[in-house]
């Protein structure tokens, strides 16, 4: 018998809780998804009902993450749907441009209000000599992702690279599709929209690959990322002055692995869940720390964002069409804005500037030595190894500014590494945190594992009979739940 108290707890579980967003690595999501999938499969061949059903579930998913702010996503959907249709129907170039600018202004206006109001107000107070008191503005989860998706749609329609949709429910499906709604990947309309009304089909290849990606993503997040975060990385970054330079460096290596496993783990799960629903997303991470140059790194890291910035910002600024100097400036400006996209903070701007300068210098270097390919694939093995080591540490250095809570904390960590290193305590540190470094070793080994070996594991999953797939997944999930951190941590990119 359910008591009144138990019933209240049960009801509360289904309601919005600001401190407990609905995330993939929670048991409650697994429970909801099983129910959702059971009904979803039974809507095969009933496209309109299936589309509306997914939209309703996606809106509930977003409600569990951001409460009443799902209305913002509704506004974006309606505004951009009709703006794109009107843009397509008119032959007046000035009107088309105005509609496109209004669409961008609406999206960026909301993004700026929720993310940057306090940032700009603090700057204003600093310049005017007034005291600063921040406004209590809640940042809706995933607003940066669904606004970027919607803008890509209207810009593509403006560029006549895409014909707008006739049915608003299809556009709502594209904007709100829950696997990638709150933390990406940023899915392009031209890739996703043609799949919406295709007959629902999940073949053995899609099923096997989807299961593999979900389990791999869960392992990356719940076992590797969360464990090293709670037990080591957070302690170092909370107060780097309490630790030696060698501990700070190891903490930095830990965060470098943590953010990769956290974000790529989410992307893996999003792509895997989409496959189980019959949809294909493009890969979002491609072993980025194997890159031999900074240019190659950005072709492997957060591919959906880096390609979005390239196609809709860098190219719009002129790309490489207006001379070498302008190309370098465009690269730096693009990455500065990419840094600002992550958050209204000097440290994010600094992170973007470091990568922008790195890309510009590499572009200059490639101009001086054209025989070397930007991707680094044709490097001799010794140069590729050296390039990979250098690029890895360049990226590690930039992560200091990305992770540190304040710019001062980032500077303190750098000082500790370069002036208070004390390598003689390395053995004691490794002994004291032996489980942390064992998990880190597993993470880096898996990351640098040859792609061919990963494909073999995927093929093995695909070939398994369905019953063995179910048994294997259940066993692995139980194993992960037993060894994961007791606290369920939100994904890092939820804050963006």
Catalytic residues: 342
Closest CA to 280 of 206, 222, 219, 227: 206
Q: Is-contact 179 145, C-beta < 8 A?
A: no
Q: Which long-range contacts (CB under 8 A, 24 or more apart) does 200-207 make?
A: 200/43, 200/44, 200/45, 200/50, 200/278, 201/278, 202/275, 202/276, 202/277, 202/278, 204/462, 205/462, 206/275, 206/276, 206/278, 207/275, 207/276, 207/462, 207/466, 207/469
CA separation for the pair 355, 97 (Å, rounded)? 32
Contact 494, 183 (CB under 8 A): yes
Q: How far apart are CA 302 and CA 284, in angstroms?
A: 5
Report the SS3 class of residue 90.
coil
Q: How far is CA 333 from the centre of its chain?
A: 21
Q: How far is CA 302 from CA 178, 267, 322, 401, in A?
A: 19, 9, 27, 18
Tell me how far apart the alpha carbons of residues 334 and 355 are, in angstroms, rounded to a whole number: 10
User: CA 442, CA 436: separation in Å to the nearest integer?
Assistant: 10
Q: Rounded to whole angstroms, how far apart are CA atoms 267 and 491?
A: 11
How far is the C-alpha of 282 from the C-alpha of 192, rounded, in Å?
10
Four-CA torsion 470, 183, 353, 408, nearest 10 degrees: -90
Cβ pair 208, 255 in contact under 8 A = no
Is residue 31 a contact partner of residue 106, using CB atoms and an 8 Å limit? no
Would you state the structure tokens that stand for residue 278, as one six-digit string?
């019959």
In contact, 211 and 272? CB cutoff 8 Å: yes
State the DSSP code for 328.
H
Instruction: Please give the helix or strand (H or E) that residue 217 lies within, else none.
Output: helix 204-218
Nearest to 253 by CA among 60, 439, 42: 439
The Cβ of residue 336 has, within 10 Å, a number of other Cβ atoms equal to 19
Rg (CA), the chain: 24
Sign of dihedral through CA atoms 231, 234, 239, 243? positive
Tokens matching residue 391: 């690029």
């Amino acid at each position: 018998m359910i008591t009144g108290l138990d019933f209240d707890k049960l009801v509360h579980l289904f309601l919005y809780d600001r401190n407990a967003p609905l995330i993939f690595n929670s048991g409650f999501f697994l429970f909801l998804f099983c129910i959702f999938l059971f009904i979803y499969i039974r809507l095969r061949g009933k496209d309109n009902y299936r589309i509306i059903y997914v939209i309703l579930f996606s809106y509930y998913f977003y409600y569990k993450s951001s409460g009443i702010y799902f209305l913002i996503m509704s506004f974006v959907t309606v505004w951009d749907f009709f703006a794109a249709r009107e843009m397509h129907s008119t032959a007046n170039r000035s009107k088309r441009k105005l509609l496109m600018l209004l669409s961008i202004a609406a999206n960026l206006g909301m993004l700026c209000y929720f993310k940057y109001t306090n940032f700009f107000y603090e700057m204003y107070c600093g310049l005017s000599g007034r005291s600063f008191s921040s406004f209590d503005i809640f940042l809706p989860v995933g607003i940066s992702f669904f606004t970027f998706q919607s803008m890509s749609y209207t810009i593509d329609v403006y560029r006549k690279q895409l014909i707008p949709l006739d049915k608003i429910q299809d556009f709502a499906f594209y904007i709100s599709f829950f696997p990638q709604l709150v933390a990406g990947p940023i899915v392009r309309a031209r890739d996703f929209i043609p799949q919406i009304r295709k007959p629902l089909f999940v073949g053995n290849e899609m099923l096997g690959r989807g299961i593999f990606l979900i389990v791999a993503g869960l392992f990356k997040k719940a076992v590797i990322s969360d464990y090293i975060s709670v037990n080591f990385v957070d302690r170092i970054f909370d107060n780097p002055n309490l630790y030696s330079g060698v501990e700070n460096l190891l903490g930095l290596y830990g965060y470098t692995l943590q953010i990769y496993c956290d974000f790529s783990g989410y992307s893996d799960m999003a792509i895997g869940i989409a496959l189980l629903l019959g949809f294909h997303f493009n890969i979002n991470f491609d072993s980025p720390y194997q890159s031999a140059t900074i240019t190659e790194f950005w072709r492997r890291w957060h591919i959906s964002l880096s390609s979005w910035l390239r196609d809709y910002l860098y190219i719009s600024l002129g790309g490489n069409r207006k001379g070498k100097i302008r190309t370098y400036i465009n690269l730096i400006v693009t990455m500065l804005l990419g840094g600002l996209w992550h958050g209204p903070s000097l440290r994010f701007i600094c992170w973007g500037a470091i990568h922008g300068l790195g890309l510009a210098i590499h572009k200059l270097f490639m101009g001086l030595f054209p025989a070397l390919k930007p991707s680094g694939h044709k490097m001799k093995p010794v140069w590729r190894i050296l390039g990979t080591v250098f690029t890895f540490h360049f990226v590690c250095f930039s992560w200091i500014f990305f992770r540190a809570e304040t710019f001062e904390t980032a500077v303190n960590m750098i000082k500790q590494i370069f002036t208070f290193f004390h390598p003689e305590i390395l053995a004691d540190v490794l002994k004291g945190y032996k489980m942390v470094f064992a998990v880190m070793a597993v993470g880096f080994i898996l990351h640098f594992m040859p792609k061919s070996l990963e494909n073999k594991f995927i093929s093995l999953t695909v070939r398994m009979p369905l019953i063995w797939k179910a048994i294997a997944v259940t066993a692995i999930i139980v194993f992960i739940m037993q060894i994961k951190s007791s606290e369920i941590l939100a994904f890092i990119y939820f804050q963006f």
